[in-house]
Amino acid sequence: MSHDIRAARTTPAIALLLAAHLLLNAQQWPRGQSNIVDNLIESDADRAGLDGDEDDPRLDYLERLRRHPLNLYRADEDALDRLPGISPMLARSILSFVRNRHPTALAELDSLDDITADALLTLGDYTTLDSSARITLPEAIVRLRASSALEERRGYLGMLHRRVVRRDPVTGDSLKVDTLPLGPRYLGNPVAALARVQIEASEWRAGLLFEKDAGEALLVRDTSAFTYADYELTEATPAHADVRTRLGAFLSAYADGAAGPVRIVAGDYDLEIGQGLLLWTSTGNFGTAAAVTAPLRIAHGASGHTSAEETRFLRGVVLETRRGALADNLEAMIFASSRSLDATLDASGTGADSGTVIATLRSDGFRRTWSELRRSGNVSETLIGASVRSRSAEGSSGLTVYSTAYSSPFQRRLFYEFSGDRITGISFNWHYALRGTVLAGEVAGAGGGVGGIATMLTRGTHLEASLSLRYQSPRLAAIHGDPFGSASGNEEGLYAAVELRPLRSARIEAHLDLFNTVERTPTVPFPRAGHDAAITAEYRPGSAVLLSLRLRSARNLNAFTVPDTLDRERKRLLDRDLAGVRCDARLAALSGMLLLHGRFERTQVQYDDSRPAGDGILTMIEVRYRPTRSFTAGWRVALFTASTFDAAPRIADADLPGRISSSPLSGDGYHVAMFVRWQPLDRVLISGSFASTTYNDRRSISPGSLQEIRGTTLDVLALQADVTFQ
């Protein structure tokens, strides 16, 4: 057993002794320190596919509510249930209580039978009952951020070369071949930068965003005369070569406002419709922090694109009529988009029938190398559609139709089960609340395939439960969809969750997700089946202490079997059984100035005979210190060991406002992080973070790739400034 494993098992005992000492001086959990943000961060970290940094619009929304709390006397259910942890049923109960009882203090909501201590903390942080509170407009918020790894990666060190043929100017004969260095493979410097301006004035909002990933150049001069393959043999640059200047970074802008009975969104925008089967481009889902509401999507139509996500958005215009403009309780929306996508193209056909087809659409948004730059913006997409929604006191239902055309057709081979250069989709969705029960769902068809999802949420005394059924055929062409479950399609599943509140200070939630591949296809040659289940218990023994325990079990079975040489059935491939436990303890002390968070996590993974079992252990201690209202500092130390990637633990953080960072910790090592937030003026916030990860079981990080670091330590430094102008 390594030294880090022994330390990982002894550190919890030290943490418990320290917590017991501080518990004697524990104070009430302070305002502004509810664990709602921590729950959001953990939900994103547990979500498959999040690896690296992501600007989450939910965090920006919560930061805005810190400055301008939501007034419960003027709020509606759509605004209130955007708060993570506030379900649609609880939102309706809160608003009914406010309108009927006319409370003057949020503490009076404690008389609601179905409200929890966490919900009260959330309401205290982000809502108000002060009817005189007004938002001062216009308001402009400027965010500037820069971050960089302190170690050089292979992409900045390895040189790209070109072989150029030198010819006699008179005879044209070849004289020699010169080898010329073209510079590093990464075209830009290692600094990642972001600049964003958001303006709000009355009923209008506007935003401008610039983002450059590490390794990207601001501007690049490109020509089709070269392929930029390493040691490419070519002639000198022809005089007639088409040379153009391309933007290597990401630039986005939008305007959102009302003009009489019509709301207009122009520029880059996000679109949320129904349950996300066909159209859901925003990155944050406000219901994922709780297991019961996880399958329920709360769609908010069109809104300006405010995150640095470079692929999931639309670019064009949206016209939306307000309720009553056309007819009572009827809303209509027309949306159009025209933009370029990043794709990998393959040659198709021969002779006069030759052309290119889309092998796959790229979602990373990187333009660091010549190959990444060449496949960026190489496919044009034109989308036009309309949506009609009918609203009533109990809920709403809507119908959406759209058509999308591409400059190159999709190829039905490796990544897609549909083909062609045009996709037409239609969907019907509903969301109703009837006597403590929410019924929501969507049925859709696109590209020759169909899909559907239906969810029921119910609420009783000390109980919430949900049940969701989903189905997506492999030929459902949901390019812009992001539904609960499998966004790639070809899946059917059942999800059930329950939350019990036996005490005001205790909460138990459990969920079970059963899934199965609909059919065997070229993209899914080995149909899969399995489950993912977890049970979480939280308890507040005092107003300043929060204890939680999570047990998780996951199984992924491959249904494909083959006979061996003796005609015996061979074991299923890719079988994986995962079992994990996570223990968390949070403590507030010194009148709320000191917050402590300790975690112990262990994950074990069993495979079939083809792979050895995996084991992962994480021990973490986090400290946040806020001696004054204008200054906060935090430290985080973690020891980890993981023998396989599936067993690797994750540490997620929001050390910088508005940004979630998460990455798996595979191998054997330790992680140290620090952050500070300083508010020298009421409208100025300066933040900084430093994270260092050291691996003891390797000589290099990400070997063989352009991200390779020749060393055992990865250090990342980031600085951010947020300034508000009024």
Tokens of 257: 């406002």
pLDDT(216) > 80: yes
- Rounded to a whole number, what is the distance in angstroms from the first to the last CA of the chain? 59
Question: How many other β-carbons are positioned within 10 Å of the β-carbon of residue 375?
Answer: 18
Instruction: Work out the average pLDDT over 690-699.
Output: 93
- CA–CA gap between residue 514 and residue 531 (Å, rounded): 4
- CA–CA gap between residue 531 and residue 552 (Å, rounded): 11
Average pLDDT over the chain, rounded to an integer? 83
pLDDT band at 554 (very low <50, low <70, confident <90, very high): very high
pLDDT(20) > 60: no
Q: Buried b / exposed e across 519-552, counting CB within 10 Å, b at 16+?
A: eebeebeebbbbbbbbbbebebeeebbbebebeb
pLDDT at 611 (0 to 100): 76
pLDDT at 241 (0 to 100): 65
Q: Which letter does DSSP use for residue 175 in this model? A: E
pLDDT band at 8 (very low <50, low <70, confident <90, very high): very low
pLDDT at 68 (0 to 100): 81
Residues 6 or more apart in contact with residue 115 via CB below 8 angstroms: 90, 93, 94, 109
pLDDT band at 692 (very low <50, low <70, confident <90, very high): very high
Instruction: Work out the average pLDDT over 690-715.
Output: 92
pLDDT(520) > 90: no
pLDDT band at 268 (very low <50, low <70, confident <90, very high): very high
Percentage of the chain with pLDDT > 70? 84
Distance of CA 595 to the CA centre of its chain: 26
Instruction: Work out the average pLDDT over 334-341.
Output: 95
Nearest to 618 by CA among 667, 549, 660: 667
- Positive or negative CA dihedral for 606, 608, 609, 612? negative
Instruction: Work out the average pLDDT over 384-395.
Output: 91
Asked whether 511 and 493 are in contact (CB, 8 A), the reply is no
> What DSSP element (H or E) covers 143?
strand 139-149
- CA–CA gap between residue 658 and residue 678 (Å, rounded): 16
pLDDT(134) > 90: no
Nearest to 674 by CA among 662, 664, 688, 658: 688
pLDDT(22) > 60: no
pLDDT at 402 (0 to 100): 96
20-29, 294-303, 689-698, range with the lowest pLDDT: 20-29
Residues 6 or more apart in contact with residue 687 via CB below 8 angstroms: 655, 656, 657, 675, 676, 677, 678, 719, 720, 721, 722
Percentage of the chain with pLDDT > 90? 39
CA angle at 486 for the pair 485 and 488, rounded to the nearest 5°: 160
25-39, 392-406, 568-582, range with the lowest pLDDT: 25-39
pLDDT at 379 (0 to 100): 92
Q: Rounded to the nearest 10 degrees, what angle do helices 117-126 and 57-67 cross at?
A: 70
Distances (CA, A) of 338 to 210, 342, 479: 20, 14, 15
pLDDT band at 135 (very low <50, low <70, confident <90, very high): low
- CA–CA gap between residue 185 and residue 373 (Å, rounded): 12
pLDDT at 287 (0 to 100): 43
Instruction: Work out the average pLDDT over 500-509.
Output: 87
pLDDT at 34 (0 to 100): 53
Give 89-108 pLDDT, tens digit per residue: 788 888 888 888 888 888 88
Better-predicted residue by pLDDT, 168 or 670: 670
- Positive or negative CA dihedral for 76, 79, 83, 84? positive
Q: Please identify which residue in the block is written with the tokens 């940004």.
A: 659
CA angle at 327 for the pair 326 and 329, rounded to the nearest 5°: 120
Asked whether 156 and 184 are in contact (CB, 8 A), the reply is yes
pLDDT at 353 (0 to 100): 54
- CA–CA gap between residue 152 and residue 288 (Å, rounded): 37
Q: Please identify which residue in the block is written with the tokens 């983002």.
A: 211
Global pTM?
0.86
240-249, 408-417, 539-548, range with the lowest pLDDT: 408-417
pLDDT(17) > 80: no
- CA–CA gap between residue 131 and residue 282 (Å, rounded): 32
pLDDT at 36 (0 to 100): 56
- CA–CA gap between residue 127 and residue 110 (Å, rounded): 15
Q: Please identify which residue in the block is written with the tokens 């056309």.
A: 326
Residues 6 or more apart in contact with residue 602 via CB below 8 angstroms: 580, 581, 615, 616, 617, 618
pLDDT(672) > 80: yes
**Helix, strand, or coil here: 157?**
helix
pLDDT at 220 (0 to 100): 86
**Helix, strand, or coil here: 300?**
coil
232-241, 462-471, 595-604, 646-655, range with the lowest pLDDT: 232-241
pLDDT at 615 (0 to 100): 94
- CA–CA gap between residue 668 and residue 262 (Å, rounded): 58
Nearest to 407 by CA among 373, 350, 358: 358
Nearest to 442 by CA among 466, 470, 465, 418: 470
Instruction: Work out the average pLDDT over 337-364.
Output: 79
pLDDT at 6 (0 to 100): 45
pLDDT at 526 (0 to 100): 63
**Helix, strand, or coil here: 376?**
coil
pLDDT at 357 (0 to 100): 86
pLDDT at 29 (0 to 100): 43
- CA–CA gap between residue 84 and residue 249 (Å, rounded): 33
Instruction: Work out the average pLDDT over 377-393.
Output: 92
Q: Which amino acid is located at 85 in the chain?
A: G
pLDDT at 23 (0 to 100): 44
pLDDT at 535 (0 to 100): 96
Better-predicted residue by pLDDT, 287 or 331: 331
Instruction: Work out the average pLDDT over 629-656.
Output: 91
pLDDT(224) > 80: no
Strands 232-235 and 159-167: parallel
Strands 491-503 and 139-149: unpaired
Q: What are phi and psi of 570, to 5 degrees?
A: -85, 150
Instruction: Work out the average pLDDT over 139-167.
Output: 90
pLDDT at 40 (0 to 100): 58
Instruction: Work out the average pLDDT over 40-52.
Output: 56
Q: What are phi and psi of 374, to 5 degrees?
A: -70, -30
Q: What are phi and psi of 387, to 5 degrees?
A: -140, 140
